[in-house]
A and B are shown apart, each in its own frame.
Chain A
Amino acid sequence: MKERENEFLKSLFKKYYFDYIDKIPVPDALYEREFGYQKFDGVGAMIRHIQIADAGEFKAFLMGNAPSDVYCSNGYYSFPALPLKEKDWQGADLIFDIDAKDLELPCRKKHVLGVCEPCCRSMTGNPDGTTTAAVCDGCGGSESKMRKKSLPCKPCMQAAKKQVRGLVDILCRDLGVSPGEIKTYFSGNEGFHLHVAHDAFRVLGRQERSDLADYIMLKGLVPETMGMSKIRPDKNGFADLHEGGWRGRFAKAAFGSKTKRASIISGLVKSPDAGYVEFQKMMDDAAARIGIQIDPGVSMDVHRIFRMPFTLNSKSGMQKAPCPDVDAFDPYTAAVVLDSDSVAHVVADCPVRFGLGGRRFGPYKAETVELPAYAAAYMICKGFARMA
């Protein structure tokens, strides 16, 4: 991103933090957390190991640095400002990241575009606006300068919300977390973040969290768990539709109905060897369909500095916004918090029409347009526009 674009975004972000500072909640156990941030002109460098003493310092931190992104640790430390090995880790909240891009829906072909970073030209190699081009037809830039950028997509958000609902169901029903301990946020770009402040999980280390993530993703399942065995499988031991936990969910996904369950099981137990292999395939298929698509790397990490709620995401200019009601939440209006009163003139190049802040934008073909500041910021963050 260039200097003028950086200045434009920096002023908008700064205004947001000034205007909204009293609405941004101070994180719990503030003094035990590590904070970090990135700057617009910092070429992506992370400034971290920051300890904040009180609410006043917290506000000054946000308003004074005009950060492009702000992060707060899920971990609690005795000495958050020291290097990692000396911080004296005390525990960490459980965190989850559900990203629409990991769901690999077919619609992504229509709203994920190649963008040439130096000249903001969106690649139009395919009829749907996507690209397989290796060279930018605007500036001749090479493939290494091209970035994939996604535009708002409701089906993707609906699919991500379904994952969130599934995750909350597992957390509450299976793992004993109360709904009040779960805070769900729109990530500010293409997914959702869940913060779980459940005391018993706070002490879990990386390995334990990895096992927990595998449970949520339904990974590592053995056929015996669902009732199938190689030697003399017992028809009565198979997972049933009325059961709780993964056995019940699996039975619904794999068998569908009681009648089908009975006939499938009869087939499986007739020849246990072949049945075992077939059942393994059924399990793999079900796991891909009903396992929750979280990013296990995030959930395993006990030292992560995670995007802080209510702060802005420089990938979109949108807010990491709370979603008390995920079903009713519309990220493309609720998380649009940048200035909507002022306008900006940008050179935009985006072949796909999209909705943001209750308005429709595009398509644009390398043209100068006047946009509300939030939309201009969105397009600049995504790389589809530059200052006119």
Chain B
Amino acid sequence: MVDTLLPTPEWRSCNGPVSGRGPFIYAGCQSCIMLHVGKDEKAKYPFLPEAGKFLQDQGFSLAEFGTDPVLKVIVDKAYERIMAATRGSVYRSALVGGKATGDHTLNMEIFSFLIAIVLIKLANHNTLVQRFALNESRRAEAFLTGDLSDTQDRSRSDMARRIIHDVSGTQVVQSNHRYLIPVADYLIHSKSFHEREWKLVNREVDGGYIILKPDKAVRLVRHTLVTYITSRINKSPVPEMIPGFEVMVAQLVAEAERLTPKYVVTGVNPPCVEHAIKVLEGGENLPHSGRFMLATFLLSRGKPIAEIAPLFRNAPDYNERITMYQLKHLAGEKTGTKYMCPSCNKLRIQGLCFATEECDGITNPLQFGRRRMAAGDVAAQEAAGR
């Protein structure tokens, strides 16, 4: 099992220019900055292949962690590391100022990460994987920001830039206390942000680079850390249950079940759909793109074609036969290809977005009104189901 936490040849392949596809481990890649990974770095960034090798070098077997009372402290720490993630809080590191105070701290930091992965594999629940990867990436983000902006110790800054490059494929250029990211890399990574501050137009752009502060530079690529850690966990095989881990694993499964979101759709239409219906009801002409949006939205919400078609009856160019044909086509009845409701971004460009506060950062009209059920609602629904 320890071996499975080491980088595989597949992970080592350098995929060339940035594509945001990650993960990347560039051992042997000429374009990578090869630096020595010290103990502190292994503790701060336990997802690095060098940290995995550290565990192997110590000569422990996984079975020992289930039985040895000395090693049980590490298992408890690993468990707490996962539980912190399920609570949405970043695991509190024992490192002081980004440095391990001794070998014990170092072992705890690295081993607890690796054992946490073993526990997650045994629990086999995607919610745990996602939460753990997110919170570990947030932990690493804090260290990376500190290292990147360290102007006293150049090696720390270089290490941070190497990790960012290895994980995201993005080369951060440091120039006179400024951190530059190539425009194309920025565009690729920033597309996962919905806040307007991340739009290119709201950034300082000069000579093909975006100028960012260290925290923003690291925040930009944090999602690739999540992808990287997730990938490491997913690629590890599920081990046999380790005697002594059973209770913890059962508790993790229960916690994951509790956290798995369940949604209920309120049935309220988003403002773009309401606008389209209003236009049609008024006998005005709704552009083709608007009709496409309305039809695909209602079809996705499960409305039958027979109920959708009458909505178009007031359109100036209404033709029942053509309308029915097109609705059937969109529903996939003609070709088997079902058409999706366009994204909010596309609707915005087409002038069909009439966002209100209730839209609240959704990226597709279908997400509108989707309300997460409270734990009580879930329990009640489950009880009713039984």
Q: Which residues of A contact B (CB under 8 A)?
A: 173-177, 199-201, 203-205, 207-208, 210-212, 214-215, 218-222, 224-225, 244-247, 296-297, 300
Complex Cα gap A174–B197 (Å): 18
Report the minimum CB–CB distance from A195 to chain B (whole Å). Answer: 17
Contact check: which of A176, A204, A210, A225 meets B349 at CB < 8 Å?
A210
B197 and A175 contacting across the interface, CB-CB below 8 Å: no
Complex contacts, B69 vs chain A, CB 8 Å: none
B206 and A203 contacting across the interface, CB-CB below 8 Å: no
Complex contacts, A203 vs chain B, CB 8 Å: 17-19, 184, 188
Q: Which residue of A lies closest to B190 (CB)?
A: A211
Contact check: which of A200, A222, A224, A245 meets B204 at CB < 8 Å?
A245
B205 and A215 contacting across the interface, CB-CB below 8 Å: yes
B182 and A220 contacting across the interface, CB-CB below 8 Å: no
* For the complex of A and B, 8 pairs with smallest distance between CB atoms: A176-B208, A200-B184, A208-B187, A215-B200, A225-B202, A215-B201, A174-B205, A220-B199
Q: In the complex, which residues 193-250 of chain B have their Cβ closer than 8 Å to any Cβ of chain A?
A: 196-197, 199-209
Q: Which residues of B contact A (CB under 8 A)?
A: 17-19, 182-185, 187-188, 190-191, 196-197, 199-209, 345, 349
A sample of 7 cross-chain residue pairs with beta-carbon separation below 8 angstroms, ordered by A number, consists of A174-B207, A176-B182, A200-B184, A201-B184, A203-B19, A212-B187, A300-B349
Q: Which residue of B lies closest to A226 (CB)?
A: B202
Complex contacts, B184 vs chain A, CB 8 Å: 200-201, 203-204, 208
Report the minimum CB–CB distance from A233 to chain B (whole Å). Answer: 16
Q: Which residue of B lies closest to A243 (CB)?
A: B204
Complex Cα gap A309–B345 (Å): 31
B208 and A222 contacting across the interface, CB-CB below 8 Å: no
Contact check: which of A177, A204, A207, A215 meets B208 at CB < 8 Å?
A177
Complex contacts, A218 vs chain B, CB 8 Å: 201
A221 and B182 contacting across the interface, CB-CB below 8 Å: no
Q: Which residue of B lies closest to A225 (CB)?
A: B202
B207 and A200 contacting across the interface, CB-CB below 8 Å: no
Report the minimum CB–CB distance from A248 to chain B (whole Å). Answer: 10
A211 and B200 contacting across the interface, CB-CB below 8 Å: yes
Contact check: which of B182, B196, B197 meets A200 at CB < 8 Å?
B182
B207 and A176 contacting across the interface, CB-CB below 8 Å: yes
Complex contacts, A220 vs chain B, CB 8 Å: 196, 199, 201-202
Complex Cα gap A208–B345 (Å): 11
Complex contacts, A215 vs chain B, CB 8 Å: 199-201, 205
A208 and B191 contacting across the interface, CB-CB below 8 Å: yes
B17 and A212 contacting across the interface, CB-CB below 8 Å: no
B202 and A244 contacting across the interface, CB-CB below 8 Å: no
Report the minimum CB–CB distance from A113 to chain B (whole Å). Answer: 24
Q: Beyond A175-B205, A201-B184, is A222–B19 a contact (Cβ under 8 Å)?
A: no
A297 and B204 contacting across the interface, CB-CB below 8 Å: no
Report the minimum CB–CB distance from A120 to chain B (whole Å). Answer: 26
A246 and B201 contacting across the interface, CB-CB below 8 Å: yes
A212 and B202 contacting across the interface, CB-CB below 8 Å: no
Complex contacts, A297 vs chain B, CB 8 Å: 349
Contact check: which of B182, B191, B200 meets A214 at CB < 8 Å?
B200
Complex contacts, A300 vs chain B, CB 8 Å: 349
Complex contacts, B205 vs chain A, CB 8 Å: 174-175, 215, 245-246
Complex Cα gap A203–B169 (Å): 14
Report the minimum CB–CB distance from B204 to chain A (whole Å). Answer: 6
Complex Cα gap A208–B17 (Å): 16
A175 and B196 contacting across the interface, CB-CB below 8 Å: no
B196 and A222 contacting across the interface, CB-CB below 8 Å: yes
Complex contacts, B19 vs chain A, CB 8 Å: 203
A211 and B207 contacting across the interface, CB-CB below 8 Å: no
A222 and B197 contacting across the interface, CB-CB below 8 Å: yes
Q: Which residue of A lies closest to B206 (CB)?
A: A244
Complex Cα gap A300–B187 (Å): 13
Complex Cα gap A214–B345 (Å): 12
**Max chain B CB contacts within 10 Å: which of A174, A222, A224, A244?**
A174
Complex contacts, A205 vs chain B, CB 8 Å: 191
Complex contacts, A200 vs chain B, CB 8 Å: 17, 182-185, 208
Contact check: which of A176, A207, A224 meets B183 at CB < 8 Å?
A176
Complex Cα gap A205–B187 (Å): 9
